[in-house]
Structure 1
Amino acid sequence: MEQQDHESFFSPKGIPAFASIIIFLVSFFIVMSLFHSVLNLFSVVRGYGMGYFFIGEGIMLLSVFIVTFLMMRFLDRRPFSDLGFSLKGRGKDILYGFLMAVLIYAIGFGVCLLTGQIEVVGVHLHWSDLLLSGLFFAMVAIVEETMMRGYVLGRLLRTRLNKFISLLISSLLFALLHLMNPNVAFLPMLNLVLGGLLLGASYLYTRNLWFPISLHFFWNWIQGPVLGYEVSGNRFCETLFSLRLPANNLINGGAFGFEGSLVCTVLATLFTLFIIWWFEHSSQGMRRY
């Protein structure tokens, strides 16, 4: 059963949804900047590498939970549990997230290989990089899903806005968070919007974060540390596969990685539509809200 709230997006009662979201995002960046400033005083955040990324993502994780808790407690007057972290009965959701990520890359990577748009030129097993990058991308998934699906989309879904409009708004904000990434361009930004739709589609029906967290985690981890693509324009560690791109183009995604490709555009669209169809037409879909 879906939650029946009838708050206007610009509701004069309490804090309007658009204001809550602005306060939330601004507060997050302020708190994160304060943590960075304190650590910089002690020369903790220096250099470039996995340790640097861990510290940065750890700061984001701490910041997002502090700000989200305070927003939920004092402005929204709702329990933190409303975000959707309950694990009860959600083991299958985590499995489905993994399987969907594997299927997307089995198709996408396979298409690029078969068409000669990428070549595997080496396989090098770096256990430490695979494990550490796994922990790192788990933090990334928790941070971004808490922000964009748990708080932003959850807040929009408590208004009179159509749920799909709410999903689109949250996906646009999700893409904007990556605007300063290396090698960003129109197609990568479009795919990030589509990625937001893909990650948020199930939340419309379940109000639970474990499927999007799982899909987000495995999406990034398989894409980068395993297959050897850049992840949203970034390279974080040594990868299992070493790739060579005969040319940077719209099929292989070029320097932005898989998320910069038309293959990603098609697959993200199809799988988003599949998730929505599954919930709208099947009583056997992932547990509904």
Structure 2
Amino acid sequence: MAADNIVEKKEPERLPVWACIPLFIVVFFVCMGLYGILAQGFLSLVLGVEARHPGMVGYILLEGGMLLAVLTAAVIMLRLERRPFSDLGLSVKGHAKGLWYGFLMAVLLYLVGFGLSLVMGEVEVSGFQFRPLDLLGALLFFGLVALFEEILMRGYILGHLLHTRLNKFLSLFISAALFAFLHIFNPEIAFLPMINLVLAGMLLGASYLYTRNLCFPLSLHFFWNWIQGPVLGYQVSGNNFMSTMLKLHMPEENVLNGGAFGFEGSLICTVLMIVCTILIVWWGEKRKTISLETPQSC
């Protein structure tokens, strides 16, 4: 065949990254509405009038529906983008240590943070109770919370921002700000809790810059919430969902103990998250395990 008869095939135009994220959010909300209606119908069918106050069962179903919605939206978008599901970073292979390190960091944060709060007299333990079923229910609930929020904020949104010309730390900040905005309607929200939620988003996303994997942030997020609420007795981002092992008393609600928002509303938490984020970035910059091109389309 003559060379001049060869017609070069053009690559099909793809949706730009800046359009992928808004479209993903729209698809997610549509799916969330659909699954929410199905979950409410299921609760009404099973519980009848009690469906108005379903307790932990309702929370688990709601969070399960949100997780299913974000997974559905991710699958749809990744198919449109011709990208594999593995791009979300959910693989445990080669990253199992991240689960262990996330647990250790959560424990260390509360050993220091809660310990300081006790020593300074900002919180007092006023009671103790052990209810295994409540702890197991909380375990499932906060596992779903961690999966949902990490797939949404780090796996998809931060993952896509890192495929642009944006500086990786700016991408991290944008995803962290969106993570904080996700909690804008939480009870007792205020300026310092919002700042801390941005810092939490940066702490959770820092390792993803270097590993493109969710094992560490998933584990840290999960144990952070579970230890904070069901075990230690704090409010979790302003919410009080269930009974707790420890009963806490705050002589005065202030910025040192976080007040009604919980530990995440405290200055102690602010300092600890900044220190831990810096340590993760220092570790990541030393390793430099990931080298990605930065395509301008999905």
How does the TM-score come out when normalised to structure 1?
A: 0.91
2:172 aligned partner: 167
Report deviation, 1:282.
Answer: 4.9
**Do 1:35 and 1:59's aligned partners in 2 also have CA atoms closer than 8 Å?**
yes
**Do 1:46 and 1:52's aligned partners in 2 also have CA atoms closer than 8 Å?**
no
Distance 2:197 2:25 in 1: 18
Report deviation, 1:248.
Answer: 0.9
Letter in 2 for 1:46: R
Candidates 250, 257, 263, aligned match of 2:262: 257
2:197 aligned partner: 192
Letter in 2 for 1:73: R
Distance 1:131 1:250 in 2: 31
Candidates 104, 110, 119, aligned match of 2:109: 104
How does the TM-score come out when normalised to structure 2?
A: 0.88
**Do 1:175 and 1:193's aligned partners in 2 also have CA atoms closer than 8 Å?**
yes
Question: Aligned with 1:229: secondary structure?
Answer: coil
Q: Larger C-alpha radius of gyration, 1 or 2?
A: 2
Distance 2:54 2:187 in 1: 15
Letter in 2 for 1:36: G
Report deviation, 1:187.
Answer: 0.7
1:5 aligned partner: none
Candidates 41, 45, 65, aligned match of 1:59: 65
Question: Aligned with 1:270: secondary structure?
Answer: helix
Distance 1:17 1:288 in 2: 20
**Aligned pairs (5 A) from 1:193-272:** 193-272=198-277
Give the superposed CA RMSD. Answer: 1.4
Q: Give CA-to-partner distance per residue, 1:59-90, whole Å, 9 cap, x none.
A: 0011011000001111x220011111111122
Distance 2:226 2:160 in 1: 28
Letter in 2 for 1:264: C
Paired residues in the alignment total 273
Letter in 2 for 1:71: M
Candidates 67, 74, 94, aligned match of 1:68: 74
Report deviation, 1:40.
Answer: 3.3
Distance 1:282 1:67 in 2: 33
Unaligned runs of 5+ in 1: 1-12
**Deviation beyond 3 Å, 4+ runs, structure 1:** 38-42
**Do 2:39 and 2:65's aligned partners in 1 also have CA atoms closer than 8 Å?**
no
Unaligned runs of 5+ in 2: 1-12, 46-50, 292-298
Distance 1:126 1:90 in 2: 33
